[in-house]
Structure 1
């Protein structure tokens, strides 16, 4: 039975399988695109067993593995948010790290919970809730403008991920 709220990624440290495959309910990575440089974008994934950082093309091929046919319910979508915008607007009081009785599922980080610039204390669900209707259908230069202006960025399908980052200058 598949759970449509999880997606597979490979080469993940939390996995107990040989190829490092694990099903995440959501996963956060940082893609660094250096301005005015022809160098490839770099992926910073704290949970990956791949080189740190990894070139975006390598990360996509080895961790996302779009070449592997997966069930449609596991289709991966990527919410891409510009870091300065994310840092101003994201908030998490860690409620997602507790069970239904209010007990910690895992030990929380030692740093303070993240509060948004506007005082919001929890909006994680706004960032991780993604549906096929949210996905940009035609990735083009105008899509990049949305990235630099919208709180929740843009949602890209896995087939357009590399092309999207190639549009960012």
Structure 2
């Protein structure tokens, strides 16, 4: 199975409102199916301190342009590190764009950095190397229950994800981010850090494509 612009999205597990778990399973399936090595995958959390981030071409939107305001969203970026001229890809199970999309087209059409936003809607991207994410991420889904303990959206049928060290919930650590904490500049040190830091690195929307262009074999 080869990654292409026409991969069958229906072959991947998807539970509405549980994008972090959907991406967790997507990473595992891409590796299990031989599409890509885990070392070539990066999990990207998108949010900000206000928990208001706009994305376009989202299936959950009721507008023609597909815009929706998420509190946070999670996608997977594929970077073939051993192929110098390879195209970076975005796997987003909630997008109406090609699956996968090229990173350039996803940024241009789905993120639209050229669209002038008020400061409260400025997006921050937490880039986490997939092997670290698969090892450390955990969610008992507490964030999807209201004050009375009722589900705000039906949970997946499978058991909650537990980290390899036994941690049962740390989703909040991944989605807490602020524009003031993004990298001042993208350099060798910051790129190298993504391979060692459990919570990855934070970049602004103008730095996203540059960050991945700096990753080499």
Specify the TM-score bucket, using the shorter chain as the normaliser: over 0.9
Aligned pairs for 1:93-132 within 5 A: 93-132=140-179
- After TM superposition, give the deviation of residue 154 of structure 1 in Å: 0.1
1:34 aligns with 2:80: yes
- After TM superposition, give the deviation of residue 132 of structure 1 in Å: 2.1
Match of 1:9 among 38, 48, 55: 55
Aligned pairs for 1:66-77 within 5 A: 66-77=113-124
1:108-133 Cα shifts (integer Å, max 9, x gaps): 01121011111111100100000123
- After TM superposition, give the deviation of residue 97 of structure 1 in Å: 1.1
Higher mean C-alpha displacement, 105-114 vs 60-69: 105-114
Aligned pairs for 1:129-140 within 5 A: 129-140=176-187
2: CA distance, partners of 1:107 / 1:156: 32
1:85 aligns with 2:139: no
Report the count of equivalent residues: 167
Structure 1: segments with no counterpart, 5+ residues: none
RMSD: 1.0
Structure 2: segments with no counterpart, 5+ residues: 1-48
2: CA distance, partners of 1:100 / 1:21: 29
1:159 aligns with 2:213: no
Q: For residue 159 of structure 1, give the secondary structure of its aligned residue in structure 2.
A: coil
Give the match for residue 188 of structure 2. 141
Say if 2:122 and 2:179, in contact at 8 Å, map to a contact too: no
Give the match for residue 108 of structure 2. 61
1: CA distance, partners of 2:50 / 2:177: 11
1:56-86 Cα shifts (integer Å, max 9, x gaps): 0000000000010000111000000000001
TM-score normalised over the length of structure 1 = 0.96
Q: For residue 31 of structure 1, give the secondary structure of its aligned residue in structure 2.
A: strand
Q: Which runs of 4+ in 1 moved over 6 A?
A: none
